[in-house]
Amino acid sequence: MKKLLNVVFLLSCMSLAGQSAWADSYTDAKSSFMNAGESAAFFGSSYGYALFPTIGKGGIGIGGAHGKGKVYQGGQQIGKSSMTQLTLGFQLGGQAYSQIIFFEDDRALREFTTGNFEFSAQATAVALTAGVSAEANTGGGMAAGVSGGQNDAATTSGGYRKGMAIFTIAKGGLMYEAAIGGQKFNYTPL
């Protein structure tokens, strides 16, 4: 199992290393979401958000993903977060993407900062910087995204589900996936 996780990690790193033009900064990731359709409206109406500029993901049957981010409330950073994911199913390849999670109210932000697991099912296809994704999870959330790259991404969602709205933008890689898995978010206040 440890060898398999090392292979998954290596695939994730390889997908990131080949794309030197990716924007790694929080400012660039936020700008991409502000210009990507539906996600833009959430900046003005949400209680807060968690922003992950780059999450690396890879898998061959068993997959994993990891990324670091910052958590904001009222436009000010209040903490740091990391996301770790383990998936099982039909999957092959590696990819990188940006993710933002908007919190509707104080309760949703508090729930996120406890770091609970939330299992999800997802289907994605990413080729270089073009991507399509759909996700449904046990927390009641659903999201979809289409991206030709960070500068022309379009995001959609069904709005808040249990106080959270999640959007992703593909950054690059080559991956096909239909899997179930669990995500774990760790939170460290400033």
Work out the burial of residue 170: count CB atoms within 10 Å of its CB; fewer than 13 is exposed, 13-18 middle, 19 or more buried.
buried
For the chain, percent of residues with pLDDT exceeding 90: 38
What is the distance between the terminal CA atoms of the chain, rounded to a whole angstrom? 35
Structure-token pair, residue 114: 């406890």
Q: How far is Cα 35 from Cα 19, in angstroms, rounded to an integer? A: 22
Q: What is the mean pLDDT of the chain?
A: 76
pTM: 0.75
Closest C-alpha among 27, 55, 38, 30 to residue 126: 55
List, for residues 64-115, the tens digit of each pLDDT value: 999 999 999 999 999 999 999 998 888 899 999 999 999 999 999 998 988 6
Asked if 155 and 102 touch (Cβ cutoff 8 Å), the reply is no
Find residue 135's DSSP bridge partners: 122, 143
pLDDT for residue 105: 95
Closest C-alpha among 67, 63, 89 to residue 11: 63
**Per-residue CA distances from 166 to 81, 119, 131, 142, 145 (Å):** 15, 14, 16, 8, 10
pLDDT for residue 45: 93
Considering only residues 21 and 106, tell me which one the structure prediction assigns the higher pLDDT: 106
Considering only residues 143 and 90, tell me which one the structure prediction assigns the higher pLDDT: 90
